[in-house]
Amino acid sequence: MRIAVLLSAGRHRVSAHPAPVPVELQAIRLAAELGGEAFGLHAGPAIGPLHDTLGHGLPRLTHLRLAENDDPAPSLADALREGAFDLVLAGRSGQGGEDAGLLPYALARTLGLPIVADAVALAEGPQPGTLRVEQALPRGARRRLVIRLPALVTVHPAAPAPLPFAFAAARRGDVETRPGIAAACAPSEMEERPYRPRPKLIAKAAGGASAAERLKAATESASGGGKLLVEPTPDNAARAILAHLREIGVLA
Amino acid sequence: MSRSRKDPRTERATHRVEGSIRPRFDLAAAPAATGRPRRDRRAEERLALVPGTVRRRLDRTQRVAAVGALPAPTTPAVETPPRLRTIPEPACLVAVVPDAPGGRLTPHDRQLFGAARLLADANGGAVLALVESWSDELAIAGADRVLPIPASGYDPEAKALALLSVLDGLAVRHVLFPESADGGDLARRLAALSGEALFAGAESLSAKAVTRAAQGRRIEQRRAPPRLISLATDAVAPHAGTLHEALPVEFAFPEPTAGAILSAEYIPADPAKVSLAEADFVTSAGNGVTDFEVFRALVAALGATPGASRMVCDAGLMPRAAQVGASGTVLEARCYFALGIAGAPQHLQGVARCEHVVAVNTDLHAAMIERAGLAIVADAQEVMPALLRLIAEEKRG
Ligand SMILES: Cc1cc2nc3c(=O)[nH]c(=O)nc-3n(C[C@H](O)[C@H](O)[C@H](O)COP(=O)(O)OP(=O)(O)OC[C@H]3O[C@@H](n4cnc5c(N)ncnc54)[C@H](O)[C@@H]3O)c2cc1C
As a whole-number percent, the residues of chain A with pLDDT over 90 amount to 58
**Does a structural domain hold residue A198?**
no
**Does a structural domain hold residue A20?**
yes
Q: Which of A157, A179, A201 is the last residue of a domain?
A: A179
As a whole-number percent, the residues of chain B with pLDDT over 90 amount to 42
Write down the mean pLDDT value for chain B. Answer: 85
Q: Kind and range of the H or E element at A211?
A: helix A211-219
Regarding whether A157 and A50 lie in a shared domain, the answer is yes
Domain regions of chain B by residue span? 1-36, 38-68, 85-248, 276-396
Q: Is the pLDDT of residue A204 over 50?
A: no
As a whole-number percent, the residues of chain A with pLDDT over 70 amount to 89
Per-residue pLDDT, A55:
94
Regarding whether A171 and A52 lie in a shared domain, the answer is yes
Per-residue pLDDT, B65:
41
Range of the domain at A237: 211-248
Q: Is the pLDDT of residue A206 over 60?
A: no
Which residue, among A79, A36, A34, A30, has the nearest Cα to A56 in the 3D structure? Answer: A30
Per-residue pLDDT, B83:
83
Q: What is the pLDDT of residues B257-301, one digit of tens each?
A: 777 788 888 888 788 788 888 888 999 999 999 999 999 999 999
Q: Which residues have C-beta atoms less than 6 Å from ligand 1?
A: B 286-288, 309-312, 323-328, 340-342, 344, 346-347, 350, 360-363, 366, 379-381
Alpha-carbon gap: A167 to the closest alpha carbon of chain B (Å): 27
Sorted by sequence, the CB contacts under 8 Å of residue A212 that are 6+ apart come out as: none
The amino acid occupying position B258 is A
CA atoms A54, A57, A59, A64: torsion sign: negative
Alpha-carbon gap: B294 to the closest alpha carbon of chain A (Å): 14
Sorted by sequence, the CB contacts under 8 Å of residue B222 that are 6+ apart come out as: A190, A191, A192, A193, B209, B210, B211
Q: Give yes or no for B216 touching A (CB within 8 A).
A: yes
Candidate from B313, B318, B320, B327 with most ligand 1 atoms within 8 A of CB, to mutate: B327
Regarding whether A168 and A236 lie in a shared domain, the answer is no
Regarding whether A81 and A171 lie in a shared domain, the answer is yes
pLDDT band at A13 (very low <50, low <70, confident <90, very high): confident
Q: How many domains does chain A have?
A: 2
**Does a structural domain hold residue A104?**
yes
Q: Do domains B85-248 and B276-396 have the same CATH topology?
A: yes
Per-residue pLDDT, A222:
47
Measured at the CA of A19, the angle between CA A41 and CA B219, to 5 degrees, comes to: 105
Residues from chain A contacting residue B221 (CB–CB below 8 Å) = 190-192
Order of strands, sheet of B356-361, starting from the edge strand that comes earlier in the sequence:
A227-230, B374-377, B356-361, B335-339, B281-285, B305-308
The listed CATH number (3.30.70.260, 1.20.120.550, 3.40.50.620, 3.90.120.10) that belongs to domain B85-248: 3.40.50.620
Q: Give yes or no for B367 touching A (CB within 8 A).
A: yes
Up-side HSE of residue A69: CA atoms within 13 Å toward CB? 5
pLDDT band at A213 (very low <50, low <70, confident <90, very high): low
Q: What is the pLDDT of residues B25-79, one digit of tens each?
A: 888 776 555 566 677 788 888 888 877 777 888 877 654 443 434 444 445 545 5
Per-residue pLDDT, A207:
45
Q: What's the CATH code of the domain at A26?
A: 3.40.50.620
Regarding whether A69 and A19 lie in a shared domain, the answer is yes
Alpha-carbon gap: B331 to the closest alpha carbon of chain A (Å): 11
Q: Do A219 and B367 touch (CB under 8 A)?
A: yes
Regarding whether A174 and A215 lie in a shared domain, the answer is no
Cis bond upstream, residue A150 (ω within 30): yes
Q: How confident is the model over A228-246, as a mean pLDDT?
A: 91
Taking the alpha carbons at both ends of chain A, their separation in whole angstroms is 43
Q: Do A250 and B192 touch (CB under 8 A)?
A: no
pTM over 0.80, yes/no? no
Regarding whether A121 and A10 lie in a shared domain, the answer is yes
The listed CATH number (3.40.190.10, 1.10.3430.10, 3.40.50.300, 3.40.50.1220) that belongs to domain B276-396: 3.40.50.1220
Q: Is the pLDDT of residue B172 over 70?
A: yes
Q: Is the pLDDT of residue A41 over 90?
A: yes
Residues from chain B contacting residue A161 (CB–CB below 8 Å) = none
Write down the mean pLDDT value for chain A. Answer: 87
Regarding whether A15 and A88 lie in a shared domain, the answer is yes
Regarding whether A217 and A169 lie in a shared domain, the answer is no
Given a contact cutoff of 8 angstroms between Cβ atoms, the answer to whether B379 and A238 are in contact is no
Regarding whether A22 and A136 lie in a shared domain, the answer is yes
Q: Kind and range of the H or E element at B374?
A: strand B374-377
Measured at the CA of A80, the angle between CA A75 and CA A85, to 5 degrees, comes to: 170
Q: How confident is the model over A127-143, as a mean pLDDT?
A: 89
**Does a structural domain hold residue A200?**
no
